Amino acid sequence: MSTGYVTRFAPSPTGPLHLGHAFSALTAWDRATARGGVFRLRIEDIDRARCRPEWEAAIRDDLAWLGLSWPEPVVRQSQRGAAYAAALRRLGDLGLTYPCRCTRADIRAALAAPQEGAGATRAYPGTCRGRSPDAAGPADAIRLNLDAALAIALPPAFDESGPEHAGRHTPDPAALAAGGDPVLARPGLGVAYHLAVVVDDAAEGITEVVRGADLFEATALHVLLQALLGLPVPAYHHHRLVRDAEGRRLAKRDDARALARFRAEGATPDDIRAMVGLSPGRAALPPPRREGR
């Protein structure tokens, strides 16, 4: 019987799964299994130029080989445009968004120039803050005005169970603002990660987000967006990253550590678990089930 616990693994089908992906998926699976909960698969395929059906098929094959199962049909970001647009409209109606035409080169140049005041410390200096939402064009990104957002809502506290930051956290608004106004929608994609992930987690009823420790700092922004959009705040578990011998985190370019290669060389799922420092496999959840949406 389910305890109400729901988590997810959300890969992008842009290349093969490697040991780092295996560790993240297995960590989420083990936490769901231990609680009698639900493990979901989400396909983050919003970048249609880089995502490929064959990579999604390979992801499913690798995860099934590891012993994981999930409810079907899975959520695909490429089919969620209306939900993201609605979230953007809500933030826009609150007066919290603006179009931005700055390129990376523009931002670097602005940050390198002599500045006065708090804006000098920001990752994005707010160059386009004065632009009207009505001026948005197809080549513009949409940013969140953090100062305006923090004036109407503070980022709520969240529970973290990951090994590096376990405890109850209340984000510092000043530290969040210092990061600069984040991009919520990108030209050609329609949405950026920060907005998509909070909208999707709420829609799927995720009660604990399991992901890498590299995303811990982003959680302050995510809980702020949840507050602004009236969405529930889940618990978080940021796990350690799997690194190579030089201490670098694994990436999809690390084909030598691709699960498919280990499988071809005769490795078992328990071998993969041992490689990433996990105990042998646990009892499986029920087979995938169809869900109406």
Domain regions of the chain by residue span? 6-275
**Distance separating alpha carbons of residues 239 and 134, to the nearest angstrom:** 42
| Interval 152-187: pLDDT, tens | 999 999 999 999 999 999 999 999 999 899 999 998
- pLDDT tens for 203-235 read 999 999 999 999 999 999 999 999 999 999 999
What local confidence, expressed as pLDDT, does residue 255 receive? Answer: 61
Region for residue 122 given its phi and psi (left: phi exceeds 0; alpha: psi -120 to 50; beta: otherwise)? beta
Q: Give the architecture-level CATH label for domain 6-275.
A: 3-Layer(aba) Sandwich (3.40)
**Which ranges constitute the DSSP H helices of 12-122?**
19-34, 53-65, 81-93, 104-112
**Kind of pairing, strands 183-185 and 75-76?**
unpaired
Crossing angle for the helix pair 81-93 and 219-229, to the nearest 10 degrees: 80
Q: Is 172 helix (H, G, I), strand (E, B) or coil?
A: coil
Alpha helices by DSSP H, 113-268: 146-152, 173-178, 193-203, 219-229, 259-264
In the chain, which residues have pLDDT < 70?
Answer: 1-3, 109-122, 244-256, 281-293
Type of residue at 102: C
pLDDT at 105: 79
Quote the Cα angle for 138-140-142, to 5°: 120
Query: Given the structure tokens 């990579």, which residue do they identify?
Result: 55
Predicted confidence at residue 121, as pLDDT, reads: 41
The CA distance from 120 to 163, in Å, is 34
Q: Could you give the angle at the alpha carbon of 156 between the alpha carbons of 144 and 221, nearest 5°?
A: 30
Return the pLDDT at 122. Answer: 58
Give the pLDDT of residue 103.
83
Rg (CA), the chain: 20
CB 128 within 8 A of CB 168: no
pTM value is 0.88
- The residue among 109, 176, 110, 104 whose CA lies nearest residue 141 is 104
Task: Check if the beta carbon of residue 30 is closer than 8 Å to that of residue 3.
Answer: no
Which letter, b or e, does each residue of 26-48 get, where b requires 16 or more Cβ atoms within 10 Å of its Cβ? bbbbbbbbebebbbbbbbbbbee
Q: At 49, list the tokens.
A: 């130029």
Instruction: Provide the token pair at 284.
Output: 């499986």
Query: Given this model, what pLDDT does residue 252 score?
Result: 53
Whether the CB-CB separation of 260 and 250 falls below 8 Å is answered with no
Angle at 278 between CA 34 and CA 35, to 5 degrees: 5
